Structure 1
Amino acid sequence: MKVIEKKYLNSKKNLIYQLRREVEIQARLRHPNILRLYGYFHDSSRVYLVLEFAPQGGLYQLLRTNGTFPAAVAATYVRDVAKALVYLHANEVIHRDIKPENLLLDAKGVVKLADFGWSVKMDPEVRRQTFCGTLDYLPPEIVEDKPHDKAVDIWSMGILIYEFLVGSPPFQSDEMDETYQKISECKITFPENMDPLAKDLIQKLLQTEPGKRPTLQTLLQHPWILQNASKQTPTIPTQIERK
């Protein structure tokens, strides 16, 4: 259950519209790696979203607990999120806020893409220009206030892989302006011990020009995914055991 205070919705411009759009989009989605929205109701002070139960919580906390994810765990999560995005994009939806906080685990450890507050329906004739998402995951086109399309989700997958394997996003800085600059220039520092295949995939995804980013199908067929992702979704304990 997600509970939203009506006074919060009324406190900022466009929040009511954003919530309505979130409900309209998520309620129609049916995919094993997307959190179901079963319905909603409201009373005098709150709006309640009835969501699929994800008792194991979010990947953000799991990542903070463990520091990083082993390649097999990271690749499995990335593969399953990519499958969810293939479904979204096929249904003309851009998520626009891929990050560990918006990835939840159900009782079996299956990853579920959640929080469609920034999602939007695609128009093939129109590129979006809304400044949205989470700073560390923003692509250059949004930072530079340029029109954007579904390629923003591809960029976010590159950031996600890096954070899973390193423990922090690649462009994270203390100063916001410095983060903006790093994103625009795509300045990435890789650990010396990073798997060359993982590095190759991240570099392919984090292209400053949206048209040069690979498709999700290409991501799913990348050697790093094929060699590391589990054929069955593993049950991930709170504390990941490392061999």
Structure 2
Amino acid sequence: MVKVSEGKPEPNPNKGLPTWTLQDFEIGKPLGKGKFGKVYLAREKKSKYIVALKVIFKQQLEKYRLHHQLLREIEIQSSLNHPNVLRIFGWFHDKDHFILILEYAARGELYKELRKSKHLSEKHAATYILSLTKALAYCHEKHVIHRDIKPENLLLDLEGRLKIADFGWSVQSRTKRHTMCGTLDYLAPEMVENKAHDYTVDNWTLGILCYEFLYGVPPFETESQTNTFKRIIKVDLSFPSTPRVSAEAKDLISKLLVKDALKRLSLQKILEHPWIVKNADPSGVCSGGVSQI
């Protein structure tokens, strides 16, 4: 069962799949709803530890033939242990569902807070980019490419610490990949052009997110998929006059949104960038939430 050690749960140390059932949990309020199921607040009865249960409908997985993808997601996420990566403690299934036992992020999706405040202060944006960069550096060291970093897949814990979630499109590979996947506004040019890609697609997405955090919208967003694709391929990047954003922030974005993947700023260079050094809180905590400028 889930155990509490120094305030944090640890996965079952026994080999093999833990024999959890829904009866082992007190189920609380729904936290969110996705294409394939729902997420609920829950408490494991023996340890009293609060978790999130992601309930996925088997019928939907069969319809879209995603069993293999789910098992790959579980395998990858289970292998990761980083302060800015959402933990998965285990999983089980019944006749109709797969249930994932996940770390509970009390403040929910960063997307929702971003929509409320329109855009972030440079200090909050830099702190989130710093946290993301550290998490992705850890993932890339383990040869994991996330491939779907976006505000909806970024959660905040009670203190405001960012957590990467949803590894549904992630892959663990030492070689280049060819599958086009992810979300339209965040796709790198090589994906749009159906070319091979590697971990640098995550670096590109950091540039997209930095822009969106500061301006409130992704940089290449249009009303049609075709036009968005064209803007991504051309790297048709422009910076609005409002809100006011520092030259250092624009410099970081411009060095990440580069068509040639080999010339994109490395994760190490992001950590050393003047805008990050000047603005980011090294603790990774944004206790005050997002700020409207």
TM range (shorter): over 0.9
**Residues in 2 aligned to 1:94 and 1:234: alpha-carbon distance in whole angstroms:** 24
| Structure 2 residue aligned with 1:225 | 276
| Structure 1 residue aligned with 2:7 | none
Letter in 1 for 2:125: A
**Residues in 1 aligned to 2:292 and 2:235: alpha-carbon distance in whole angstroms:** 33
Task: State the superposition RMSD in angstroms.
Answer: 1.2
**Residues in 2 aligned to 1:101 and 1:239: alpha-carbon distance in whole angstroms:** 15
Aligned with 1:149 (options 165, 182, 198): 198
Which aligned segments of 4 or more residues in structure 1 are displaced greater than 4 angstroms? none
Matches within 5 A, 1:154-165: 154-165=203-214
Matches within 5 A, 1:121-136: 121-123=172-174, 126-136=175-185
Does residue 65 (structure 1) correspond to residue 116 (structure 2)? The answer is yes
**Residues in 2 aligned to 1:54 and 1:234: alpha-carbon distance in whole angstroms:** 13
| Structure 2 residue aligned with 1:199 | 250
Q: How far 1:79 sits from its partner (Å)? A: 0.1
TM superposition score normalised by structure 2: 0.79
1:19-49 Cα offsets, whole Å, 9 max, x none, are 0100000001000000000000111111100
**Residues in 2 aligned to 1:145 and 1:235: alpha-carbon distance in whole angstroms:** 37
* 3-state SS, counterpart of residue 131 of structure 1: coil
Aligned with 2:100 (options 36, 44, 49): 49
* 3-state SS, counterpart of residue 39 of structure 1: strand
Q: How far 1:234 sits from its partner (Å)? A: 3.3
Q: How far 1:241 sits from its partner (Å)? A: 6.3
Q: For the structure 1 residues 113 and 24, does the alpha-carbon distance in structure 2 shift closer, same or farther, using more than 3 Å as the test?
A: same
| Structure 2 residue aligned with 1:107 | 158
**Greater RCO, CA 8 A, separation 6+:** 1
* 3-state SS, counterpart of residue 81 of structure 1: helix
**Residues in 1 aligned to 2:135 and 2:284: alpha-carbon distance in whole angstroms:** 14
| Structure 2 residue aligned with 1:8 | 60
Does residue 74 (structure 1) correspond to residue 74 (structure 2)? The answer is no
Q: How far 1:131 sits from its partner (Å)? A: 0.8
| Structure 1 residue aligned with 2:44 | none
Q: How far 1:233 sits from its partner (Å)? A: 3.1
| Structure 1 residue aligned with 2:29 | none
**Residues in 2 aligned to 1:213 and 1:131: alpha-carbon distance in whole angstroms:** 20
Matches within 5 A, 1:178-217: 178-192=227-241, 193-217=244-268
8 Å Cα contact 2:114-2:120 kept in structure 1? yes
* 3-state SS, counterpart of residue 56 of structure 2: strand
Say which structure is richer in helix.
Answer: 1
Task: Give unpaired runs (5+ residues) of structure 1.
Answer: none
**Residues in 1 aligned to 2:224 and 2:282: alpha-carbon distance in whole angstroms:** 41
8 Å Cα contact 2:160-2:289 kept in structure 1? no
Q: For the structure 1 residues 218 and 180, does the alpha-carbon distance in structure 2 shift closer, same or farther, using more than 3 Å as the test?
A: same
* 3-state SS, counterpart of residue 76 of structure 1: helix
Letter in 2 for 1:113: I
| Structure 1 residue aligned with 2:80 | 29
Larger Rg: 2
Task: Give unpaired runs (5+ residues) of structure 2.
Answer: 1-52
Does residue 116 (structure 1) correspond to residue 161 (structure 2)? The answer is no
**Identity across matched positions, percent:** 49
| Structure 2 residue aligned with 1:174 | 223
Q: How far 1:240 sits from its partner (Å)? A: 3.0
Q: How far 1:191 sits from its partner (Å)? A: 1.7
Q: How far 1:6 sits from its partner (Å)? A: 0.4
Aligned length: 239
